[in-house]
A = this chain, B = another copy of it.
Amino acid sequence: MASNLYLALMHYPVVNKNGETIASAVTNLDLHDISRAAKTYGVHTFYVVTPLKDQKELIEKIVSHWKQGAGAKYNPMRGAALDLIKIMGSFEEVVEHINSNNGEEIKTIVTSAKNNSRNVGYGKIRDSMEQGKHFLLLFGTGWGLAKEFVEEADYVLDPIKGDSEYNHLSVRSAVSIVLDRLKGLDRLKGSERLKC
């Protein structure tokens, strides 16, 4: 069965530490860690979104090193994960790409470290996915997705709460945890198996 979960790492529109909307720089380890997590959790496609030409070229260079270059010989498992990456110039291009390849209606989900009046729980999205609905999970780099962008999404996921007031996870950690909450198996053994 083809996966009905898509992931996008947004480098625009995101905010910097002063709250200004910017296009952030691509981080090498974001590509590696997030594609490996996406592959582990059966994500259909991992879109890396940036409007900047030099940043698109940087992503292509990294991906190609591990898919065809010296990296492919050194560790083929990296290329297998980076193979999920598609580079896009904007959110609109991502949605168009999914629609033209899939035809299903896609619902967008944003994540944020802040509480939002529209927050929904992980169980609700998990249930909808198991019923066959298609979702696009959007994560922001820098200091997070721009506010207007968050407001336009179909769903806003509950912030990840740990066991303290500190909520400054890296985007790499946040993606990993959200994927595990939405798609992870075997959290409990046998009859205790989690359905959330």
Contacts of A75 in B (CB 8 A): 17
Q: Which of B163, B169, B180, B196 contacts A162 (CB 8 A)?
A: B180
A95 at the interface (CB under 8 A from B): no
Q: Looking at chain A, what size class is its interface with the partner chain?
A: 35 or more
- On whether the beta carbons of A186 and B173 are closer than 8 Å, the reply is no
Q: Note all chain B residues with C-beta closer than 8 A to A167.
A: 40
Kindly identify which residue among B36, B170, B180, B194 contacts A33, using a CB–CB cutoff of 8 Å: B170
Residues of B within 8 A of A158 (CB): 186, 189
Please, which residue of chain B has its CB at the minimum distance from the CB of A168? Answer: B77
The answer to the question of A147 belonging to the interface, with a C-beta cut-off of 8 Å to chain B, is no
Pairs across A and B, CB under 8 Å, 19 listed: A36-B173, A39-B168, A40-B160, A40-B164, A40-B168, A40-B169, A41-B162, A41-B163, A42-B162, A121-B187, A122-B187, A161-B186, A162-B179, A162-B183, A163-B183, A170-B172, A176-B176, A176-B177, A187-B196
Interface set of A (CB-CB < 8 Å, partner B): 3, 17, 29, 32-33, 36-37, 39-42, 75, 77, 80-81, 121-123, 158, 160-164, 166-170, 172-174, 176-177, 179-181, 183-189, 192, 194, 196
Please give me the 8 A-B residue pairs with the lowest Cβ-Cβ distance, nearest first: A42-B163, A40-B162, A173-B176, A41-B162, A121-B189, A39-B166, A33-B170, A161-B186
Extra contacts besides A42-B162, A123-B189, A172-B172 (18): CB < 8 Å: A17-B75, A29-B172, A36-B169, A39-B168, A40-B160, A41-B162, A81-B168, A123-B188, A162-B179, A162-B180, A162-B183, A170-B172, A172-B173, A172-B176, A177-B177, A187-B196, A192-B196, A194-B196
